[in-house]
A and B are shown apart, each in its own frame.
Chain A
């Protein structure tokens, strides 16, 4: 089974549990206080269980961002349903690397690789249109390694979240599993609307 095949559950899962809206960033910043500083928020004392609770606590006025460090000491996993991760992916790559997948009701699914605030590669996996960035070959080669062809990048994928998750796994080694999304505690920061952009 290809790397991509292992993530095909994700598109229907995001649609069913998160109204089709999910953003995650895997960052090389592992100091959670530094991450919350980048987000410009104080972490809440309470933790939330699963990303569905992130959605439940997100409104038009404030967005919850969950941070999980249990997946390994090399990477930190951030999740939200508003797209905050994509808006901050450049800052989250400071001194290292950040990989983001983001999709929702309106925008389609986007995949971005950033190193030290420089976008190496990005593409819309739902709409296609090719790869942009400083090193587009990262994706044109990577798409083969996860078991897919270049048409996924040019024409768009039928399972864009699965494709993005496979690429996240390829670039970071972090596998986004159902357990990670449903049965994991997240440190939580509440980002007010005024700080989204």
Chain B
């Protein structure tokens, strides 16, 4: 009997800790109702070494509050299960990991930050597991680096990775997050990896200015023309009727056209050169000539053409140019095509 007890104790010490499960539930809904949702996470999971543990994936959770053209936050509900077989015991850790993605309109550096909140455990007390989280993308430099490696109760960290983009090239970095959970002193671990293949877009298009940059393309940005007294009043009149074209929240954004010939054609249709211009005034149209609905293509209730002070019109153009550059609003690549959508705030 004594020999049997000793044998059991030895067995417990040798293989008692057998499993760590990490289950990550990925958030796919976001708080900004006016914009489409970015590409969801796609999870792939490995089992623990001895194959005795099943791992599953689900979707749950409320949204992160942050979702802009250059900043996105994912809430990742995460569950780590630490199990002991002899004697049977289990501890379940639940927490929310927050992944922040920070972008710049004038560089292709991508900041990744991780933090944790709302952490609690239940069941037997079997020790505090650690998380080791790597982030990066296959074309990034570096392609993978440790964002955080710490106790599950204090996991946090920030890294910056660089996406090489050549002139006139567009790149969708396949951002990836690889998480391993482990207990100090034990070799058994659980791991999972997720990818965000189309969430971020980086470019160095010549039409968007001097510098390359990255954005969250699914977020539809707004250009603020509210400070232009005559023009904002004209646009507001159009937005408050018809299909509310271009009005934030309408679900009916404007789309940038290819510029160049597209823009010149629209200007000529709406503001023919033959029109006699009052001194100090310019012809202005909404939707803008630089959009697919310019040039009289919008329904009568959704368009406007009139004379506005030239200086105000130039400020409007400056604001549009700056907006297209800072929010990296893609032009259409072909004549008559459709580029990125945007709204106009007045």
Chain A residues in the interface with B (C-beta under 8 A): 15-21, 23, 52, 55-56, 58-60, 63, 80-84, 86-87, 102-108, 110, 119, 122, 124, 127-129, 132-133, 155-156, 193-194, 196-197
Contact = CB atoms under 8 A, between A and B. Distances in A.
Given A19-B209, A82-B322, A105-B320, A87 B311 contact: yes
A158 B39 CA distance: 43
B267 A19 contact: no
Given A81-B322, A105-B290, A106-B316, A129 B210 contact: no
A22 B224 CA distance: 20
B315 A128 contact: no
A122 to B, nearest CB: 8
The A interface is mostly helix, strand or loop, or mixed, namely mixed
Contact of B321 (A104, A110, A122, A197): A104
The 6 closest A-B pairs by CB, nearest first: A106-B317, A104-B317, A21-B321, A83-B314, A82-B318, A52-B210
A155 B273 CA distance: 7
A19 B324 contact: yes
A95 B305 CA distance: 37
A58 B322 contact: yes
Interface residues of B, number: 45
Contact of A60 (B224, B273, B314): B224
Contacts of A193: 227
Which of A23, A83, A102, A155 has the most chain B CB atoms closer than 10 A to its own CB? Answer: A83
Given A110-B310, A129-B277, 5 more contacts: A110-B282, A129-B273, A129-B276, A132-B277, A197-B315
A186 to B, nearest CB: 15
Given A60-B323, A124-B282, A129-B275, A21 B317 contact: yes
B211 A104 contact: no
A48 to B, nearest CB: 13
A197 B227 contact: yes
A39 to B, nearest CB: 14
B209 A55 contact: yes
Contacts of A105: 259, 263, 288, 290, 317-318, 320-321, 324
Given A129-B277, A197-B228, A87 B267 contact: no
A193 B280 CA distance: 22
B245 interface: no
Contacts of A55: 209-210, 322, 325
B207 interface: yes
Given A17-B209, A104-B317, A106-B290, A124 B322 contact: no
B312 interface: yes
A194 B324 CA distance: 21
B321 A86 contact: no
5 contacts: A19-B322, A52-B211, A104-B320, A107-B314, A197-B228
Contacts of B65: none
A155 B264 CA distance: 13
Contacts of A124: 277, 282
A19 B209 CA distance: 5
A19 B280 CA distance: 25
A128 B227 contact: no
Given A82-B315, A127-B273, A155-B273, A18 B209 contact: yes
A193 B314 CA distance: 14
Interface in B283-324: 283-284, 288-290, 310-324
B122 interface: no
B265 to A, nearest CB: 13
Given A21-B317, A110-B314, A129-B277, A196 B210 contact: no
B54 interface: no
A102 B277 CA distance: 17
Which of A60, A83, A86, A133 has the most chain B CB atoms closer than 10 A to its own CB? Answer: A60
Which of B284, B313, B317 has the most chain A CB atoms closer than 10 A to its own CB? Answer: B317
Given A56-B211, A129-B276, A155-B273, A87 B315 contact: yes
Interface in B203-239: 206-211, 223-224, 227-229
Contacts of A63: 318
Contacts of B311: 83, 86-87, 197
